[in-house]
Each structure stands twice: as C-alpha cells, then as structure tokens.
Amino acid sequence: MTLKDVQARWAGHSPQVQDVKRAYAVLAPLVEGPEGLSLLFEVRADTLSHQPGEVCFPGGRVEAGETPQDCALRETWEELAIPPAEVEIIAPLDLVVQQGKFIMHPFLGVVSQGGMAAMCPSPAEVKRTFLVPLDWLRDNPPQVYSYELKPQVGEDFPYDRIGFPQGYRWRSGEVSVPVYPWPEGTIWGLTGRIVRHLIEEMT
C-alpha cells in the first residue's frame, strides 16, 4: 500500500460514526392550533412485527440514494399522507446514536393546515395519531428511569496478550429512559429522548 493509495481512499471523506451500520430518520411534526404549538405523534399499528402499539414520530430507514431529510419527508407521506410540500423543515435536531449500532436523524418541521387536512394515516402502519401541546411537555418533565449496560466478555478473551493477565476493568454504561404519561399514549424510549432534548433546548 502506497501513500497515493491512502490519499485516494480518504480524499473528500465525510466523517461518520464508527461501527454504525444503519441510519434512520424521523420528523418531529409541529402543528399550530388553538392550544398553540403541538407535536404530532403516531401509535404504530398492532399488526406490525416491530414495536407494535408504540408511540413514535413518522419515520423509517434511510434508503440508498436519499438524504435523511428526504427519508423523514417520504416516510411522513407514506405513513400519514402528508405531502412533503406541506412540511416546512425548521432544522435538523441533534443526532441520536443507539447501542444497537444505528443512528437516528430527527428533523423538526411545521405541518401546514393543508397538510393536516390531507392527513390520512395508513392503517397498515398507523393505528391512530394524537397531538400534545409543547406547553404541556415543557410544564410536565418526564419521569426518567435508567438501566445499566454491563460488558459481557467471553472467557476466551486474551487478557495475557494485552498485558492484563489479572483481567481488565471494563467500563459499564447507563441509558436513561424518559417517560411522558400522556393520556392518549405514553411517550417514551427513543421518541421520548428526542422530545426531552427538544424541550430542554427550547427552555
């Protein structure tokens, strides 16, 4: 391998998160109404094989050749029939990296009244939708739970070879799980993390 080989490989490289194999994108849809600004949530259809009945934002896996923003708008169209032209993207929110080796790209956007009028949830993917006022989310911080991530190292790990025959003090971790007990559907998990971060950044 020559220097030219290395230079050619890394020319114009855009840094990514190491070991991430999949990328997803969601839209955090804002809606203006009598109660001010609200976030629009979905309840996933009970017939889905993955996370049925959970509360989420519209979104899904980023496909080859599309940007995360395009993915968020496409999935919103496929799940709720809200046309991309009726969504104004305000900003990309901070990325979420999950220990399951995927990265989430959330986008904050405003859905027009025309978009809400056109909304028709796909029964194959969406059981129902509901709105939660931003003011309520601000005034009612989530209940936060946590669980520990503990290293599970196999007995065949070569401690002698790395210079630690007595074993190694591996670092553990902790994941916080925010839970918003909204009457129409509990907002928690990854969606709860996006909501909590959004509200914290705005207050």
Secondary structure class of 177 (helix, strand, coil): strand
pLDDT tens string 148-171: 999 999 999 999 999 999 999 999
Cα separation of the two ends of the chain: 53
Tell me: pLDDT of 63 over 80: yes
Q: Which H/E stretch holds residue 146?
A: strand 143-149
CA distance 43 to 73: 18
Percent of the residues in the chain that have a pLDDT greater than 90, as a whole number:
89
Centroid of chain to Cα 15:
20
DSSP letters for 6-55: HHHHHTTPPP--TT--EEEEEEEEEEEETTEEEEEEEEE-TT-SSSTT-E
CA distance 9 to 162: 30
- For the chain, what are the domain ranges? 19-202
What fold is seen in the domain 19-202?
A: Nucleoside Triphosphate Pyrophosphohydrolase (3.90.79)
pLDDT tens string 90-116: 999 999 988 768 999 999 999 999 999
Are 195 and 178 in contact by the 8 Å Cβ rule? The answer is yes
Closest alpha carbon to 51 in 147, 191, 150: 191
Tokens found for residue 172: 């553990």
Closest alpha carbon to 153 in 139, 138, 166, 168: 168
Record the pTM: 0.91
Residue 119 is predicted with a pLDDT of 98
CA distance 32 to 34: 7
